[in-house]
Structure 1
């Protein structure tokens, strides 16, 4: 499928919309406009859910979308972790662990892809859980700014601790899976 046709595919337009939302989300957080920030975060989540659903429903799975969707997801979460850390709402150590995991996975997968060693990088169940907890953690941080309540603050603190634990554990699992696949039958890799 030609590149421009891939860009015009509805799921990819939704992914581009998510990328377009990101700077406004950053601005609203830096301006302490948490109602708008939460609304934009929810809108970004809706575009993420819809792009995958529509790609299957409309049979518009594209190579561009295969790469662009996870990049948009990681860019959104990574940027939010940095901005919320800058705003003093997420501890630095959590953001460092999240970034270290993502950067390590990105470097390893790029190297393996570029050398032709391994081309299929499916997320593991633990990796998906890690992403889910990160999304819930960011949502909880933003909600805590909207409705400061003791139970929500405790939930936020707990989620951030789980994120700090899951990030290195899921990175180790990812490394273990990649090492196993690379050392297995070359046809399987």
Structure 2
């Protein structure tokens, strides 16, 4: 099958991830943990699939460069807020995750408003951070869905995700300061 037959498949997969966000949040809110876990796993796997397809078949687009991080942010921020509201993860962890994403979005907006737009290009630490956030959310949902013991992984996961998120925030902030010539 030729790449042209795939059309905008990566972007469609990314849009599917966006559509799944309200469903996952609704499942968490109603404490339907198995459904939340399964839908979240589909969403998490779609993140890997759209990127792989785009790279493998040279289907990267400017729209995809914006949609993919937007879908990641919508998914992860929504999930962590829902998990914090249900007292499943510490509120502090959710605040760190939301603050990082707001800082990144704010930095890109300020750069754009000052007519110094930045390229949308994820840093390696950001990719690691996203993978850790997805893995930890899947772990938490799996623990709830299958009534597993959270120890010892839960505590390590909270601290690991918090640390990676803070390091990622600092890296983007440093990149923005450099870009803006502050």
Q: Render the CA deviation track for 1:89-132: whole Å, top value 9, x for unaligned.
A: 01111111111111011101111133232422422222222222
Q: Render the CA deviation track for 1:128-160: whole Å, top value 9, x for unaligned.
A: 22222211110111011123344x432122111
How much does 1:161 deviate?
Answer: 1.7
Q: Render the CA deviation track for 1:43-96: whole Å, top value 9, x for unaligned.
A: 112221121122233332222111111100110000000101111101111111
Cα RMSD (Å): 1.9
Q: Taking CA–CA contacts closer than 8 Å with sequence separation of 6 or more, which of the two structures ends up with the larger relative contact order?
A: 2
In 2, Cα distance between equivalents of 1:33 and 1:66: 33
Correspondence 1:135 to 2:129: no
Q: Render the CA deviation track for 1:1-20: whole Å, top value 9, x for unaligned.
A: xxxxxxx6111111111111
Task: Give the structure 2 partner of residue 16 of structure 1.
Answer: 15
Task: Give the structure 1 partner of residue 152 of structure 2.
Answer: 154
Contact 2:28–2:83 (CA under 8 A) maintained in structure 1: yes
In 1, Cα distance between equivalents of 2:39 and 2:77: 16
Contact 1:118–1:182 (CA under 8 A) maintained in structure 2: no
> Number of residue pairs matched?
176
In 1, Cα distance between equivalents of 2:127 and 2:57: 25
The range that moved more, 107-116 or 75-84, is 107-116
In 2, Cα distance between equivalents of 1:166 and 1:46: 21
In 2, Cα distance between equivalents of 1:168 and 1:67: 22
Task: Give the structure 1 partner of residue 49 of structure 2.
Answer: 50
Q: Show structure 1 runs of 5+ residues with no match.
A: 1-7, 185-189
Q: 1:128/1:60 Cα in 2 relative to 1: closer, same or farther (>3 Å)?
A: closer
Q: Show structure 2 runs of 5+ residues with no match.
A: 1-6
Task: Give the structure 1 partner of residue 181 of structure 2.
Answer: 183
In 2, Cα distance between equivalents of 1:167 and 1:175: 12
Task: Give the structure 2 partner of residue 168 of structure 1.
Answer: 166
- TM-score w.r.t. structure 1 length? 0.84
Q: For residue 151 of structure 2, give the secondary structure of its aligned residue in structure 1.
A: helix
- TM-score w.r.t. structure 2 length? 0.87
